[in-house]
Amino acid sequence: MKNVIRLLFLLFPSFIMHAQEGYDLVKIAFTGNQTLPSRILHKQIVMQNPHNFYGLLFWKKPFRFSQDILEKDIKRLETFYRTEGFLSTQISTELIPGKEKIKVFLHITEGRPVFIKNAKFNFIGDSTDHEFEQKIKKKLLAKKNDRFRDQNIRADRITIIGEFVNSGFPRADVQIDLRIDENKDSAEVIFPISPGPLCKFGKIDVFGESRTPALFIKERVLFREGDVFSRKLVEESQRDIYQLYLFEYVNIRVLLDEHPTELPVHVQVKDAPRFTAKFGAGYGKEDRIRIFSELRRIRFLGGTRRLQLYAKHSWLEPWHVNAKIIQPGFLKPEIHLTLNPFYKREREPAYTIDRTGNNIILQNQFSKITEMHLSYAVERNRLYDVLPDPRQMENLTLYNKSAVRLGLTRDSSFPAFSPERGGFTALNFTYAGVGFESDFHFLQVLTEYRKFIGLADQYTLALKLKLGSMTPLKNDKFTPIEERFYAGGSNSIRGWARSRVGPKSDGGDPIGGDSIFEGSTEIRFPIYKYLSGVTFFDFGNVWPKSLTFDVKDLKYAAGLGLRYKTAIGPVRLDVGVPVFEGMKNFQIHISVGQAF
């Protein structure tokens, strides 16, 4: 009888869990996890907490409790803890049932972690120089006295291979040898390395269906026959040739099996269509219905030039047409020259203006994410419907402008349209009044910084700061109204309508200013499939004078938004409310693309 009772006692928890099969899982939580945060542990298991909007999203079914899944999740967590350096982690469960609902608590005893005693290389065969070895070690994630992490060791192996491949050793082989002393909670990490022979690029041949001379393509390759092999140079060459827009595809293949040390290179290309056309339409609250078209012609007037014709119509730009004649490889392969004649009519709350002119642009792509451009622009401007502005010269409605602009950008944000990580930095200088009998002379500096940080459960923290100032030069008393800074609108301080933050005329209409400071913080989160949400907090202002930034004058706005993912970017709906302004009014913004 006692044995029967004992057996029932041992099996009782199993009976409880089986009785709760199919219950709604309303909570799963961790306790005792001092080193690894709960948000990381949640990513390792199948069972998940209900969505933050559980109850409102009635179409989403809650997770159903399953004993089998719970047991497998515990094994997943134990395995994950081992890869994080905890070899003796123990996990116990506590189930709190309710009416067809259940809460699950996982109590974790992490135990002592394993620390890295040493990380070293063991060269097999041909060795390498000490300086190169130290260069690689500086890039390793696994450092002495750090906690052992399996993912860091594996990442270090890839790093070591990459360093050798980019230094002339494409056949380098790297292994991982772990020697763990559980008694001392320490591990020695050894990387056995067989570098293989030093290799150089061999003969470079061009293949494929192309009207482009093979010599031109070879000149765009970033290495020459006899140079030390580097996979990075191969990848960058392929990218740079493709970005000429002359080819439908580009593939650079290095033949490792042809020769032990001299590696032939095959560049395979296929011409892109000579004519392409693109048309589009959309709607936004500010620009209302917008339509555009773009025509592209490659090998314009022969060679590698291309012609792009662009036309657009919207409420903000009733007329906008421009042409771009682009010459790749101007002076140097990485420099592009662009001639850009244009005509456009801009309609803003403060003015309407016709702008006719031309840009000459030199663009240098330093790397995949870094670019510099230098341009010279001349314009003939005609102002209409200008609001009264004490800084504006009377009757000056037809005038010339010229400007030299220098811009630097670094964009590591990813993915396109809706970045989830990385950042963006831009710095732009404008010096107006260089030739062409310019009627305005001013200096403008504008910088912008954005940062995207991935959080738990597909949440993203997005940050933006923007700072700019301009000042008139050569005895000018004011800056042109169309070049001034404005704030407020769908991409600015979203509690206000377009351009409604900053200096105003006596009638309360915006006239722009010479200094701007604004920023924004967003939390972006998933809701259901292609639908996501945003909470945002914006701030900023525009001041009439240059180098004027008074934080006491800042305006604030907060709000909520929805995003629906499409192939051309998210369709966006934002509702913004002024903060500390009585919160009497709100703004609704509809557009395509994230606010930043």
Instruction: Report the C-alpha gap between 244 and 260 in whole angstroms.
Output: 33
Q: For residue 559, what pLDDT is reported?
A: 96
Instruction: Report the C-alpha gap between 401 and 459 in whole angstroms.
Output: 46
Q: Which residue type does 182 have? A: E
Q: For residue 10, what pLDDT is reported?
A: 43
Lowest mean pLDDT among 57-66, 241-250, 412-421, 482-491: 57-66
pLDDT band at 9 (very low <50, low <70, confident <90, very high): very low
Instruction: Report the C-alpha gap between 350 and 479 in whole angstroms.
Output: 14
Residue 58, classified by CB atoms within 10 Å of its CB into exposed (0-12), middle (13-18) or buried (19+), is exposed
Q: How far is CA 164 from CA 121, 219, 265, in A?
A: 13, 26, 19
333 and 220 in contact (C-beta within 8 Å)? Answer: yes
pLDDT band at 417 (very low <50, low <70, confident <90, very high): confident
Q: Which residue type does 145 have? A: N
Does the pLDDT at position 226 exceed 90? yes
The domains of the chain, with CATH numbers, are: 2-109 (3.10.20.310), 115-194 (3.10.20.310), 200-271 (3.10.20.310), 275-592 (2.40.160.50)
pLDDT digits (tens, 9 = 90+) for 51-66: 554 444 444 567 788 8
pLDDT band at 365 (very low <50, low <70, confident <90, very high): confident
Q: How far is CA 507 from CA 191, 386, 504, 510, 587, in A?
A: 74, 13, 7, 9, 21
pTM value surpassing 0.85:
no
Does the pLDDT at position 594 exceed 50? yes
Mean pLDDT, range 11-24, rounded to an integer: 60
Q: For residue 341, what pLDDT is reported?
A: 98
Q: For residue 7, what pLDDT is reported?
A: 45
pLDDT digits (tens, 9 = 90+) for 89-103: 999 999 998 888 899
- Under DSSP, is residue 149 helix (H, G, I), strand (E, B) or coil? coil
24 and 102 in contact (C-beta within 8 Å)? Answer: yes
Mean pLDDT, range 397-426, rounded to an integer: 94
Q: 582: left (phi > 0), else alpha (psi -120 to 50), else beta?
A: left
Instruction: Report the C-alpha gap between 223 and 229 in whole angstroms.
Output: 9
Instruction: Give the CA dihedral 421, 408, 492, 451, nearest 10 degrees.
Output: 20
User: Where is pLDDT greater, at 569 or 431?
Assistant: 431
Instruction: Report the C-alpha gap between 586 and 578 in whole angstroms.
Output: 7
Mean pLDDT, range 482-500, rounded to an integer: 94
pLDDT digits (tens, 9 = 90+) for 352-361: 999 999 999 9
- Here the tokens at position 139 are 């890039």
